[in-house]
Amino acid sequence: QVPMTGGPSSLTFPELRHQLAQRDAVAEGYEIQVLLRWGDAVLPDAPAFDPAAQTPAAQAMQFGYNNDFIDFQPLPQGSRSADRGLLVVNHEYSNAELMFPGLGAGSAARNRTTAEQVKVEMMAHGLSVVEIARTDGRWAAVADSRFNRRITGETPMRVSGPAAGHDWLKTSADPTGTRVLGTLNNCAGGNTPWGTILTTEENFNYYFSGAAAKTGPQAEAYRRYGIVERAMFPWGRFETRFDLDKEPNEPNRFGWIVEFDPYDPQSQPVKRTALGRFKHEGCTHVVNPDGRVVLYSGDDERFDYVYKFVTARPWNPNDRAANRDLLDDGTLFVARFADDGKVQWLPLTHGEGPLTPANGFPSQAEVMINARRAADLLGATPMDRPEDVETNPVTGRTYVILTNNGNRREDQVSPVNPRARNAHGHIIEIVPPAPNGRPDHAATEARWEVFLLAGRPGQDAGARYHRATSDQGWLSCPDNCAFDAKGRIWISTDGAPGAAGVADGLYAADTQGPGRALTRLFYQAPTGAEVCGPCFTPDDTTIFLAIQHPAEDRGSSFDRPSTRWPDFQDAMPPRPSVIAIVKRGEGTIGE
């Protein structure tokens, strides 16, 4: 620990020292509780985790791999309970080299998996819903809860909205184009005011292989989404729906926002196509003064865009069921960030501007399926990899986390993406107009400002924070964020080891007042891991973090991992896990 450094911050914890280590660490005065690990039982009949002999059936009942998004939904539903609730967790992807013995290190391990191991990986994707409760200051899963649920790469889902039933969504297994098996690569997420979950499909292109990616009728559209002949996950060897030469439309059934009700374990998840198809990172909501719901989402790719969806109708706070299909009707917008500080929100509406039949958009369905191309034609602003887009509940400003973009050239720099070869990323704020002091997130214009430019102050060109930021307080590669009730931002990072030689972590800063953008290191991840899903209980006495892909380091494998976090037992591989951080002796996180 270093002594708390100076500066006018409202945060009272002594900041950590940057480091790389096998173990994780949190600021003095706080305690880490490991809550849910890969392989822990979710469903009542789940067998004990046996990493040397994992099976698809076992994995389908156990906590999945690579936890990312976390949401805490209070129990009972509609309450503000901070001691009992449903923890909803995304399982973004799988690391075969760390999950199975004998495959060796690196991504090449994925080419050596058996059919059964691929099935385990499919069961390790998706989500977990787990009831958790706090007793005497300790969080634990409720083993026999009727709410506990696993959603996997094979769970049946319905498709709704403008693209449902479109020819491009039809497959041999589903001639209706309305029934899909599974959700994949679920990264960040969000929820709705009526207590449903929005889980997002991000890098869906990683799963589809075949020459049709280069030569088929959809080759150009697939290229725009990064679908290539040899996918990162070669599942098509065993599962024909991931082989484009056999099932050319399956990729059009992924890349959506999926809504489901965590309070009803029988409920069927729904892919909401009105929110567009792209590599969704997150989907966070604000209720507008007129009651309409605004959902922000980033498209995480170098030079891709920031979107928002505005529902056509207000939500109904008095009748939960009345909101069931609210997300099927509304307008998707994409952002243009002008050099003079203005934001323009451009509608992805069929028949408006260039979105015409002559340009390949005969109806709204094609606009949603090929949302990236529609946004290209509208002149959206190419950004430095938009990750979380989330609104500060105190100020009403919306934060856009831009993780990095090593490919931006000098001649592509502009005020909103001001650095070439942007290795460390930055964070901008969208300031909506606020007539009568109430931010109007449905408006088609706003302003933008820079919150911070990441990197090492004084070392990395253009790094910009509060001038009192210490040599431990700077960050690199911001990814997710959360806000506490005081409106302070908590920023988690993904990629700092490669970009800056320090572990990924969780940083906190004031967003207004004299401590604005004075970031401070609160939590440091174990080696190889990124930090995801920061999520507070409603009373801010606990912050949940998803520690994803521990030991994802060069040369690291199941048999020789770079860390065995969090168990540190010889026979136990590293395990992606959700942790709860609480204050020793209780109290508010960050004070």
Residues of this chain that bind ligand FEO (CB under 6 A): 92, 187, 202, 281, 300, 387
Q: Give min distance, CB of 281 to Ca ion, in A.
A: 5
- Report the residue from 479, 510, 540, 553 that binds Ca ion according to the rule CB under 5 A: 479
Interacting partner of 518 out of ligand FEO, Ca ion, none (Cβ under 5 to 8 A depending on kind)? none
Site string for Ca ion, 17-56 (x = CB under 5 A): ----------------------------------------
CB 546 within 8 A of CB 69: yes
CB closer to ligand FEO out of 97 and 281: 281
* 187 is a contact residue toward Ca ion (CB under 5 A): yes
Distances (CA, A) of 307 to 168, 190, 277, 294, 337: 23, 14, 11, 10, 12
| Cα gap 443→288, rounded to integer Å | 10
- Kind of pairing between the strands at 179-181 and 280-287: unpaired
CB closer to Ca ion out of 328 and 387: 387
Site string for Ca ion, 387-406 (x = CB under 5 A): x-------------------
Interacting partner of 366 out of ligand FEO, Ca ion, none (Cβ under 5 to 8 A depending on kind)? none
CB closer to Ca ion out of 346 and 499: 499
CB closer to ligand FEO out of 259 and 300: 300
Length of the chain: 591
Tokens 């039949």 correspond to what residue? 357
| Cα gap 555→539, rounded to integer Å | 42
| Cα gap 386→211, rounded to integer Å | 30
The DSSP code sequence of 522-556 is: EEEPPTT-EEEEEEE-TTSSEEEEEEE-TT--TT-
Backbone CA torsion sign across 362, 365, 370, 373: positive
Q: In the structure encoding, which two tokens stand for residue 343, read together?
A: 């934001």
Q: Give min distance, CB of 254 to Ca ion, in A.
A: 16
Give the DSSP H or E segment for 543: strand 542-548
The contacts of residue 301 (CB under 8 Å, 6+ apart) are 226, 279, 385
CB closer to ligand FEO out of 71 and 92: 92
CB 254 within 8 A of CB 235: no
Q: Give min distance, CB of 403 to Ca ion, in A.
A: 5
Interacting partner of 243 out of ligand FEO, Ca ion, none (Cβ under 5 to 8 A depending on kind)? none
Q: Give min distance, CB of 182 to ligand FEO, in A.
A: 17
The DSSP code sequence of 266-285 is: TPPPEEEGGG--S-EEEEEE
DSSP-derived secondary structure letter, 47: P
How many residues bind Ca ion, per CB under 5 A?
6
* 494 is a contact residue toward Ca ion (CB under 5 A): yes
CB closer to ligand FEO out of 187 and 506: 187
Phi, psi of 19 (to 5 degrees): -165, 175
CB closer to Ca ion out of 218 and 297: 297
SS (H, E, C) 209-243: ECCHHHHCCCHHHHHHCCCCCCCCCCHHHCCHHHE
Interacting partner of 504 out of Ca ion, ligand FEO, none (Cβ under 5 to 8 A depending on kind)? none
The DSSP code sequence of 453-471 is: E-S-TTTSTT-B--TT--T
Q: Give min distance, CB of 127 to Ca ion, in A.
A: 14
Q: Which 293-352 positions form the footprint of Ca ion (CB under 5 A)?
A: none
* Among 161-169, 330-338, 343-351, 380-388, the segment contacting Ca ion (CB under 5 A): 380-388
CB closer to ligand FEO out of 107 and 176: 107
Interacting partner of 202 out of Ca ion, ligand FEO, none (Cβ under 5 to 8 A depending on kind)? ligand FEO
Tokens 């969208």 correspond to what residue? 430
| Cα gap 178→269, rounded to integer Å | 12
Interacting partner of 181 out of Ca ion, ligand FEO, none (Cβ under 5 to 8 A depending on kind)? none
Q: 467: phi > 0 → left, psi -120 to 50 → alpha, else beta; which?
A: alpha
CB closer to ligand FEO out of 202 and 552: 202
CB closer to ligand FEO out of 278 and 565: 278
Distances (CA, A) of 122 to 58, 246, 452: 12, 19, 38
Residue nearest to Ca ion (CB): 494
Q: Give min distance, CB of 447 to ligand FEO, in A.
A: 26
Phi, psi of 328 (to 5 degrees): -90, -10
Q: Give min distance, CB of 35 to ligand FEO, in A.
A: 21
Q: Give min distance, CB of 93 to Ca ion, in A.
A: 7
Q: Which residues bind Ca ion (CB under 5 A)?
A: 68, 92, 187, 387, 479, 494
